[in-house]
Amino acid sequence: MKTKFILLFTIVLLATSAKTFAQAPDDCAITLSYFTEPARIKNYEAALPYYEQLIKECPNYHIATYQYGVKMFEYFIEEKGDKSKVKDLIQAWELRLENFPAKTKEGDVLSTIAQLKFDNNIGTKKEQFNAFDTAFNKHPEDFTSGKSLYTYFSLAVDLHNSGEKELQEIFDLYDKVTAKIDSQKNSLAEKLTVLLNKAESGTTLTSKEERAKAVYENNLSVYTTVEGSVNGKLGQLADCPNLIPLYEKDYEAKKNDIDWIKSASNRLDAKDCDSPLSNKLAVRLHELEPSSTSAYLLGKQAEAEGKSSKALEYFNQAADLENDNSKKARIYYSIAENYRKKGSFGTARNYYNKMLAVKPSAGIAYYKIGAMYADSANGCGNTVFEKRAMYWLAADMMDKAARVDGTIAGNARAAASSYRGRAPQKSDIFSEGMAGKTVKFNCWVGGSVRVPNL
């Protein structure tokens, strides 16, 4: 009997000791090594058992567990086509967030999980949308994936089409998503512009800067594509035949709701909807709350009526009152266009540059400046060569437009090519003896251009 008791005690003691040892830091380090060594060389089949042991016994030992775990399950899914590992991948992200919150961007993880659920048809469309919605609203600063921004909005439109969301909800979400895209584009364009200006000044970019420039240009292109896809998904829902009846129907009930009037006015203006409702909304908004928005809308009305001086008065009021950079950029553009159409190119350029200062991704501003340079060629030089040299400046502006704004890149590149075709060619440079010399412009354009060396 005594022997049996000692044997039982020994078994219990060994079991307890084994459990304690399995959870010891040294043992976690050994298991982590057994996992990461094969994982580093992508021998994930050998690594998998140790991953499973780590998340069971040492879940908060080291973040490398989840860094390599994510790569491992992505490999199984993407390279091996094993869709059964999708839930394991989601779990890896969730466990990283749970165990290493300080080293993990929650919004990024939540949007990644939401995208995985959508891509793999996990849950209903409403559940998928709610996953994106949670990620966006909790941490909008981390929600930067262009693909996920589009999926988020696309699901909302699908829910509207199935009768589960009101049209106004779609418009509200559209404003949020496009504002986020706009913010990302501006940030990238601002960084890109610094490098473009450096290169334009004749300074050679370092290899690191060249790589950064390529990344900025690529990411700008991605966001431009996403922006186009979002607008395409919204499609006819935001066309004037839908907008005007929607806002006319709600006007009496909402005519004292300032936010509603602003939203309705901005949307009708963005679509250039020709309706008496636009003027009624602008006047009503100015009555309730004289603001940048109301002044801008009244300026647009005055402009439509051919009252350019009155329009400029309202636009300048709007610019002074506006704090939102995207809206301020739109106002500066309207002012610049007003002056450009009147032939006041110098003043127009000032406002296009103000637009670029608050919205670096506004390639249309570079485009318009380039077009004005080209239109001024005959008045900016004493000789034929000097006049034609203006087209180099015009082409450079078009190049900038194409780099920061993919929506007009095709037209901008075509214009740049056309302008360079009108600029002095090698034979002209040779015959005039101008290679490497500087041509100064004494007209409104100012500045100078260096003639290429032969």
330-342 pLDDT, tens per residue? 999 999 999 999 9
Q: Is 202 helix (H, G, I), strand (E, B) or coil?
A: coil
Tell me: pLDDT of 398 over 90.
Answer: yes
Alpha helix segments (H runs only) across 235-362:
240-254, 258-270, 276-288, 292-304, 308-321, 325-341, 345-358
pLDDT at position 24, please?
59
CA distance 138 to 110: 9
CA distance 336 to 334: 5
Cβ-proximal residues to 283 (8 Å cutoff; 6+ apart), any chain: 298
Q: What is the DSSP letter of 344?
A: -
The CA–CA distances, whole Å, from 220 to 158, 174, 190 equal: 27, 19, 11
CA distance 181 to 137: 15
The CB-side HSE value for 92 (13 A sphere, CA atoms) comes to: 24
pLDDT at position 213, please?
94
Burial of 365 (0-12, 13-18, 19+ CB in 10 A): buried
Q: Are 66 and 88 in contact (CB under 8 A)?
A: no
- Encode pLDDT of 224-280 as tens digits: 999 999 999 998 888 888 889 989 998 999 999 998 898 888 888 878 887 888 888
Q: What is the mean pLDDT of residues 364-385?
A: 95
CA distance 271 to 239: 7
Q: Are 141 and 108 in contact (CB under 8 A)?
A: no
Alpha helix segments (H runs only) across 201-239:
207-234
Q: What is the mean pLDDT of residues 97-101?
A: 96
Q: What is the mean pLDDT of the chain?
A: 90
Q: Are 441 and 380 in contact (CB under 8 A)?
A: yes
**Can you list the domains of the chain with their CATH numbers?**
239-289 (no CATH), 299-359 (1.25.40), 364-454 (no CATH)
Supply angle C-alpha 281, 282, 288, rounded to 5. Answer: 85
pLDDT at position 333, please?
95
pLDDT at position 188, please?
94
Q: What is the mean pLDDT of residues 379-399?
A: 94
**Against a cut of 0.85, is the pTM above it?**
no
Q: What is the mean pLDDT of residues 434-438?
A: 92
The CA–CA distances, whole Å, from 186 to 175, 219, 326, 412 equal: 16, 11, 10, 19
For residue 305 the two structure tokens come to 């009526």
CA distance 329 to 331: 5
What is the percentage of the chain residues whose pLDDT exceeds 90?
A: 69
User: Please, what is the angle between helix 409-422 and helix 384-404, to 10°?
Assistant: 160
pLDDT at position 6, please?
40
pLDDT at position 239, please?
87
- Encode pLDDT of 164-223 as tens digits: 999 889 998 998 999 999 999 999 999 999 999 898 888 899 999 999 999 999 999 999
pLDDT at position 297, please?
85
Using alpha carbons, select from 327, 323, 333 the residue that is nearest to residue 354: 333
Tell me: pLDDT of 73 over 90.
Answer: yes
Radius of gyration (C-alpha) of the chain in whole angstroms: 30
Q: How confident is the model at residue 25 (pLDDT cuts 50, 70, 90)?
A: low
| HEC readout, 357-381 | HHCCCCHHHHHHHHHHHHHCHHHCC
Write b or e for each residue in 145-173: b if 16 or more Cβ atoms lie within 10 A of its Cβ, otherwise e: bbebbbbbbbbbbbbbeeeebeeeebbeb
For residue 230 the two structure tokens come to 């979002």
Q: Is 449 helix (H, G, I), strand (E, B) or coil?
A: strand
Q: Is 440 helix (H, G, I), strand (E, B) or coil?
A: strand
Q: What is the DSSP letter of 103?
A: G
